[in-house]
Structure 1
Amino acid sequence: MAGAFQYRPKFVDIRVRPPKPEEEAAAEDVTRLKPGERRCDHADCMSVATARAPKSRDLPGQFYWFCQQHAAEYNKSWNFFAGMTDEAIAAAQAARATGERPTWSFKASNRSRESAARNKGPEGWNDPFSLFGFATTGQSGAAAAPIRADGRTLGKLERNALADLDLPETAEKAEIRVRYTELVKKCHPDTNGGDSGAVHKLQRVLKAWKTLKKSGLA
């Protein structure tokens, strides 16, 4: 080959910087963690932890850190209710239904402002369901049903019907008929003065009357 066509490199002296010792160590250690990463908590596992799992139901807020494989194995054997009785499990489920927060009775104290307002005026107002603590209570603290002259115990529908007529549970037929007549006259569209609330009241009164008639109380 003629000398004019021979390859002649432009750079005769090409120098390459050798790697530093720490760079060589990092290249050799493939299991080395990057900043912000943590090792899997499973024994002898060198993988990076990417999922957390609870340690115990008695240690809220404390977790193990696993790689995906060991997290899946741990979750298969995890049971929150392990070692608990059926009663304890039911109680725990009921507590979780309310966010594990205490609940209070809807009834107001008999010392509340609403209860005090009951005594204002000559007649006050009726409290058939003891929402403000005025119903008779037994030793257990539950509201006791008033004793009727006929010895009959009323159901929920009858009690609600008497409440719509603003009558106590001990009301008799004559009293129910008189109150029904009074409310119908008062709430009738021809005499209520255009009060829309009276129309709704009249509907409840008519429904209550039908319920009491069907049960034989009116």
Structure 2
Amino acid sequence: MTSQIFTPDVQQVLDLIGIFVFALSGGLLAVRKNLDIFGIAVLAEVTALGGGVFRDLVIGAVPPAAFQNMGYFFTPLVATLVVFFLHPEVQRINGTIQLLDAAGLGLFCVTGTAKAHDYGLGSVADIALGMLTAVGGGVARDLLAHELPSLLRWDRALYAVPALVGAGMVAVLIWLNALDGVTGTLAALVAFTLRMLALRYDWRAPRAWHRGSSSSGGESG
């Protein structure tokens, strides 16, 4: 199966790290929203697992992996306790969390695309589900917290685009029959690097082009 890019033990460790960091970001938003410990746990779980659960439901991989591997389910609860008791300290290492979050983004867009391919989807669907695996949990988190999802906000650095690029690379590698541990890692690194550069240089997607009003002279601006 192409989804098994890494050895099972390595895949497990990488997944748990990514899940833990995504859960921290969900928990921190819950603290900023002044939610109780249950609310923190819910946002942590949704952020960490939402993208993968959505992908698995779409491709028919049921029950989703998050409910088959209890390590996946309990890791966000550990993150919940960390945030509940140590959130000021966690906030102070926000740069490190962003670094690990970018790494999780790269990993999940790669493995999500590969898993979608294993279930017989076409390249376009593979890419879409790879991207959603990486960013879907964050979208669900923001919606539950009554916020416009970060990936739709023009004032936030690129997030979905790096995941889309990484997923696109995986789809090309699958088409070339060249996806393995090395090339999969390269695709994840590209997505990671793009995300870090977007944070460093505040790269944003362009907004709609503003034309000058035809009633004020008819020239475009």
- Whether TM exceeds 0.5 here: the answer is no
Larger Rg: 1
TM bucket by the smaller chain? under 0.3
Instruction: Return the structure number with greater relative CO, CA threshold 8 A, min gap 6.
Output: 2
TM-score, L = length of structure 2:
0.21
Higher helix proportion (structure 1 or 2): 2
